[in-house]
């Protein structure tokens, strides 16, 4: 196992998820339900599944498209979504 990649991935995802809408939704569910273990299991399972889908999709894309093209496409999508969000549409 590549521990450097594991730590970099953990750090990036951990910092990116702090205070985002997913964390706020989990906070809200836990407060409303009074069942924090159920919220933890449901939220954790959802994050595991989305991560699995991302890894599978990313692995398939990496075999078909060069990494630099994927980086530029991802960056362009982030910029496009940001503009779309700012315009409120």
Q: How far apart are CA 76 and CA 68, in angstroms?
A: 12
- Summarised one tens digit per residue, pLDDT across range 22-56 is 889 999 999 999 999 999 999 999 999 999 999 99
| H or E stretch at 4 | helix 3-17
Query: Residue 47, Cα to own-chain centre: how many angstroms?
Result: 8
Amino acid 20: pLDDT: 85
- Ordered alpha helix ranges (H), 34-87: 36-64, 67-87
Amino acid 89: pLDDT: 62
Number of domains in the chain: 1
pTM of the model: 0.69
- Show the domain range for 64: 3-87
Angle at 28 between CA 27 and CA 33, to 5 degrees: 105
């Amino acid at each position: 196992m590549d521990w450097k990649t594991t730590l970099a991935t953990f750090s990036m995802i951990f910092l990116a998820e702090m205070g985002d809408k997913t964390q706020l939704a989990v906070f809200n569910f836990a407060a409303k339900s009074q069942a924090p273990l159920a919220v933890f299991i449901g939220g954790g399972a959802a994050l595991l599944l989305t991560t699995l889908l991302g890894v599978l999709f990313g692995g398939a894309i990496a075999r078909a498209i060069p990494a630099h093209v994927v980086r530029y496409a991802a960056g362009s999508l982030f910029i496009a979504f940001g503009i779309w969000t700012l315009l409120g549409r």
